[in-house]
Amino acid sequence: MIEQLRETCRRLLDEGSVQVIIGYGDSLPGKPARPLFIRKSEDVDQLTWGPHCLPNLTAYLKRKEVKALGNAAVIVKGCDEKALVVLTKESQVDRASLHVIGMACDGVCAPKCAGCKMRTPRFADEVIGTPSDAEPKAGTRPVTLEDLMAKTPAERWDFWKGEFARCVKCYACRQVCPLCYCERCIADKNRPQEILTSASLTGNFAWHIARAFHLAARCVECGECTRACPAGIPLALLNRALAEQTEESFGYQPGMDPDAEPVFGSWKATDKETFIR
């Protein structure tokens, strides 16, 4: 598979249709792969593929430093690709000028891999490999949404107080998220200061709840926020709770159907609320 990937990338760069390949490279042993930005075809041998390819490379499509490199090809797993669907729908990515290389995936040892039904990207310009018959290599979640919902609201509050006490406001959760692409985040605005920048309980609750709300019905649950958090806070649970609600109330799953209208970007005459009429 890796040879086929490298060959594909070599061809794309030599043809000149693409100026940069956003792919994976080996990092420190035992650590997830790091992003690579290959611009010369002789460098494609640095590309790697395997269960260490956790990062969601679509997060780089929002970066102006990456946009400045020219037409891009991006390597995606099935789960990463869901972000592309949402980004295209939100007019952040011009799908026609982006070359998408899909990799069939046997799991990246993350909790999200358990029971994965997205082993092969569905809308890529080309797909490399086929998934094995075995169950994908998955990790486990220390805390699940079921665990949390089994608690009383007071217990849940205490749980999150304990988790957010460790948040240092590094904003890694925001920076690794493909869908946090606002040029000026609400947390960086001070007229008014809607969200305290302090890593106090107030400031941390405000930030994480605001971010979860801004991702409601958009988050594709790639899990990068949780992976990136240096304090080990299970942020993805907030998004999972809202994703469940979105499916229940609107029958909508972000990133699945490119033709589905986004929940917060559209309205129907049959919507419950009357203010829209």
Give contact residues for other proteins (rule: CB under 8 A).
27-37, 55, 59-60, 63-66, 69, 142, 163, 166, 168-172, 174-176, 188, 190-191, 193, 196-200, 203, 224, 227-228, 230-234
Which lies closer to other proteins via its Cβ, residue 123 or residue 169?
Answer: 169
Tokens of 258: 């490119």
Which lies closer to other proteins via its Cβ, residue 232 or residue 265?
Answer: 232
Tokens of 230: 């240096």
Q: Are 62 and 90 in contact (CB under 8 A)?
A: no
Strand partners, 25: 34, 47
CB of 63 to other proteins, least distance (A): 7
User: How far are the Cα atoms of 65, 87, 93, 163 from residue 12, in angstroms, in the given order?
Assistant: 21, 23, 19, 45
Q: Are strands 34-38 and 20-25 parallel, antiparallel or unpaired?
A: antiparallel
CB of 118 to other proteins, least distance (A): 22
Q: Are 53 and 33 in contact (CB under 8 A)?
A: yes
Which lies closer to other proteins via its Cβ, residue 64 or residue 277?
Answer: 64
CB of 251 to other proteins, least distance (A): 33
Q: Residue 36 — φ and ψ, nearest 5°?
A: -125, 150
Which lies closer to other proteins via its Cβ, residue 69 or residue 127?
Answer: 69
CB of 200 to other proteins, least distance (A): 5
Which lies closer to other proteins via its Cβ, residue 176 or residue 217?
Answer: 176
CB of 169 to other proteins, least distance (A): 7
Which lies closer to other proteins via its Cβ, residue 36 or residue 100?
Answer: 36
- Give Cβ neighbours of residue 95 (< 8 Å, ≥ 6 apart): 84, 88
Tokens of 85: 């669907």
CB atoms near residue 266 (< 10 Å): 11
CB of 34 to other proteins, least distance (A): 3
